[in-house]
Structure 1
Amino acid sequence: MEAISDLLDKKLATHSQTITTELHRSFAVIETKLDTLQSTVSTNSLKITELESTLNNHDQRLEALETTCSALASKNTQLAAQVLDLQSRSRRNTIRVLGLPEGVEGAQPVAFFGRMLEEMFRDVLGGVPEIERAHRSLGPKPAPHQRPRPVLIRLLRFQEKDRIIREARAKREN
C-alpha cells in the first residue's frame, strides 16, 4: 500500500508541477496582454488629455474671434453710416444737368457752366456762381444718336445751389 501511496504521491506531484507550470505560462501570457492593454490605455489617455487641452485652447480662440468679429461688425456698421453721411453731404452742393449735348462745354467746363448758369438765372444769382468743379458723369462717351451723359456741377455755396434749383423748378412749372 505504501508503494501505491508513493506512486500516487509522485503522480500527484508531477501533475501538480505540470499544472503549476501551465498556470505560470498562462498568467505570463495574460500579464503580457494586460501590459500591452495598459500601455494602449495610457497612450490613449495622454492623447485624450492633449485633445481636451487643444479643444479648450480652440474654444478660447474662437470666443476671442467671435468677440472681435462682433466688434468689427459694429464698427463696420458705424463706418458705413459715416460714409453714407459724408457721401450725402458731398452731394449737397451738386447740381445735375441733363440733356446738354456732348462736348458743348469745351476745354473749360467750369467757366462755361458758370456763364451758362449766370445767363439762365441772372435775376436769382446776381452774377457768376462760384463753381468748384464741373464734369460729365463717369462712363464711356455715348454715340451721336444716344442720350448725352449728365453734367455734374459742384457749387461752392449751398445757398446758390438751392436758389438755382428753386428757380429751375419754377421755370419748369411755368
Structure 2
Amino acid sequence: LMMEAISALLETKFDQVRSIVEDHGQRLEDLSQRVSELENVCSSLRENNSKLTTKMVDLEGRNRRQNLRILGLAEATEGGRPMEFFTDLLCEVFGKE
C-alpha cells in the first residue's frame, strides 16, 4: 500500500515535470522562430542601411561637385563678400552682358 502511494505520487510529479518540459520545449520553439524572424529583419535593415549610406555618400559627392572652384586665387581673397567678389570677377573676365 505504501509503495502504491509512493508510485502514484512519483507518477503525479513525473507528469508535472513532463508538462513543464513540454511547455518549455514549446516556448523554445516559439523563441527560436522569433529569433529567426528578427535575424531576417536585422539582415534586411543592414542591407537597407548599406544602400542608404552608399546613396548618401553619392549625394554628398554630387552636392560638392556643384560648387565652383577657382584655382589660382589666394585664400580669403573675396574679403567676406564672396557673391559680390565673384560676380565682379566673372564680369571682369567674361565682360558684362
TM range (shorter): 0.7 to 0.9
Cα gap change, 1:29 to 1:57, in 2 (>3 Å): same
Give the aligned partner of residue 118 of structure 1: 90
Q: Which has the higher contact order (CA 8 A, sep 6+)?
A: 1
Question: Rg larger in 1 or in 2?
Answer: 1
Distance 2:74 2:37 in 1: 53
Give the aligned partner of residue 9 of structure 2: 36
1:48 paired with 2:25, answer no
More strand by share: 1
More helix by share: 2
1:100 paired with 2:76, answer yes
How many residue pairs match? The answer is 93
Distance 2:74 2:11 in 1: 87
Could you tell me the percent identity over the aligned residues?
24
Alpha-carbon offset, residue 99 of structure 1: 2.6
Distance 2:3 2:37 in 1: 50
Alpha-carbon offset, residue 98 of structure 1: 6.3
Contact 1:118–1:127 (Cα < 8 Å) also in 2? yes
Cα gap change, 1:100 to 1:47, in 2 (>3 Å): same
Paired residue for 1:83, among 31, 56, 60?
Answer: 56
Distance 2:55 2:74 in 1: 29
Unmatched runs of 5 consecutive residues or more in structure 1 = 1-27, 129-174
Provide TM-score, normalisation by structure 1: 0.46
Q: CA RMSD in A?
A: 2.6
Provide TM-score, normalisation by structure 2: 0.78
Unmatched runs of 5 consecutive residues or more in structure 2 = none
Contact 1:105–1:113 (Cα < 8 Å) also in 2? no
Distance 1:45 1:98 in 2: 84
